[in-house]
Amino acid sequence: MPLSTSTTERRRASPAPPVAQSRPWRALPPWAALCTGALGGLVTETAFPSKSWWPMAYVGMALLVLALRRDSIPRGFITAAVFGLAFFLPHLWWADAAVGAPIGWIALAALQSTAVGLFGAAWVAVRRTRFVARHDLVQVAVVAILWTAIEQLRGRVPFGGFPWGLLAFSQTDGPLMPLASVGGTTVVSAVTAAIGALLAVGATRWLCRAPVGRIATPLATAVVLTFAPSLVPTPTAAESGTLVVGAIQGNVPTRGADATSQARAVAANHVAGTRALLRDAGVGALDLVVWPESASDIDPRTDDELAGAIDSIARDAGAPILLGTQRFADRARYNDYLVWPPGSRGTDAYTKQRPVPFGEYIPCRDFFRRLSPDVDRVTTDMAAGGATGVLDVPIAALGRPVRVATAICFEVAYGDLIRESVVAGGELIVIPTNNASFGLTQESTQQLAMSRFRAVEHGRATVQVSTVGVSAVIAPDGAVLDRTALFTSDQMIADLPLRTTLTLADRLGAWPTGMIDAAALTLLATAAFGRSRLRGGGGRA
């Protein structure tokens, strides 16, 4: 028989069975949620260089999830944006040192924090859906998906994106690092966020006075997720020979952004550093010499004096030199990384594909000039190259050219560029950079963490070489074999393996990213559809 009207009404009016225990923990008041979010951002930043306390990324994410318990999309946005500000303001303070005025630093941190705010709004919206609301372990997966999707979004837009401060880069000293070879930053960031969300579930169940078994389940899962990836192999053996590589950190005459005006002195420093290395290692000991970005900002291909100095030291070394220079053409400048074998005038070059907006070129210059006249400190915009970052370097000892994958300076943050170079045959990765504008900040060590991540992601030995430091030689498993200090003249030498095997991350390519994006869009569409049904049916939206 059909249910009576009164019975049906009583059933509709009955509340859903509680997900937690009989004493649920109420959401934090707004002021406490903001404070918890801010604390989470500060804690998360300590997981990155220079402190590198990698477990703090889990704790910081847990605090963010706990701060977002209130069922309000606007408050979710604000709370997560406060987390973002607390994270990005200290994380990116090197931008203040580079620009010399706080406006660029604050604007960059605020923009990135807005993306984090979108995560908070999206998380609150999706959490309202019935299935997600009833299963707190499902919420863990949702947090991981939405957080990683937002990271990918801010790595693309605006102006080509800014993938700095990805959770994955906090894990270079932790047991999650081997997962880089499985799915790159997408997988490592997702697992890091999931561990944080599991800690939040455990804390919530404890505050709700759940049984010990229910509290232990998410915590035990977090422990397994943390340490199981250390079982993933990260091979380091040579597959196509080895190279004895000398890396030269020549230093600059003075600190600060004006160092590029002293191009001849900087080039002379790198010539002198190479001679010092040859005295220690012996003539003929090196297969390859690598100089940094901006090692010779006067183009030696068009300057006879510099060409003679560079070719002289290349002949003395008996090895090709890789060096960074600037090329001017068509009212633009190009950031080139050049192959200079002995007796040549340069045989191959890579041109930077992702110039830094507001640092190397000014987008919408007329508009932004109204906001700050400092934009005109960039007098000539840098144009982007279009070729894959791989260089053919003749190596006499091997009797063949070696393909070297390269990305210049900030390009190390863009995983797609380096993957293209490795898939194109790169057997070794070289990251030339110029950190002279960032003073004694943590920018160079943050960059080193990214270079270490790329080494594991692609299973390649990696050299990060800087004008002023930090420079480092990195094994294919991410171990730092040697490194320099900031603002010193130094040299390193290492026998590095050449490898050709592609990792799973290389083979999968954009698939992990696409799957995360598709899952995030599906979750958001489901949340929007459910909300519209509630409104259309006269229910509580």
Residues recognised as catalytic: 293, 352, 409
* Phi, then psi, of 8 in degrees rounded to 5: -60, -40
Interatomic CA distance for residues 267 and 280, integer angstroms:
20
Burial degree of 423 (CB within 10 A; 0-12, 13-18, 19+): middle
Give the length of the chain. Answer: 541
Measured from the Cβ of residue 259, the count of other Cβ atoms closer than 10 Å reads 21
Burial degree of 467 (CB within 10 A; 0-12, 13-18, 19+): buried
Which tokens is 51 given? Answer: 């402190």
Q: For 357, what's the count of Cα atoms within 13 Å in the CB-facing half-sphere? A: 13
Judged by phi (left if over 0) then psi (alpha if -120 to 50, else beta), residue 43 lies in alpha
Measured CA to CA in angstroms, residue 539 lies from 73, 218, 447, 493 at distances of: 18, 34, 51, 70
Q: Which amino acid is at 173?
A: D
| Secondary structure (DSSP) of 204-262 | HHHHTT--HHHHHHHHHHHHHHHHGGGGS------SS-EEEEEEEE---SS-SGGGGGG
Question: Which residues is 490 bridged to in the sheet?
Answer: 249
Measured CA to CA in angstroms, residue 171 lies from 55, 149, 168, 340, 362 at distances of: 8, 18, 6, 36, 33
Which tokens is 61 given? Answer: 């994410």
Counting other chains too, the contacts that 214-217 makes at CB distance below 8 Å and 24 or more residues apart are: 217/137
Q: Are 322 and 430 in contact (CB under 8 A)?
A: yes
Helix residue ranges per DSSP H, 92-135: 94-99, 102-127, 130-134
Q: Which of 152, 151, 167 is nearest to 45 (CA)?
A: 167
Q: Which of 489, 506, 490, 494 is nearest to 463 (CA)?
A: 494
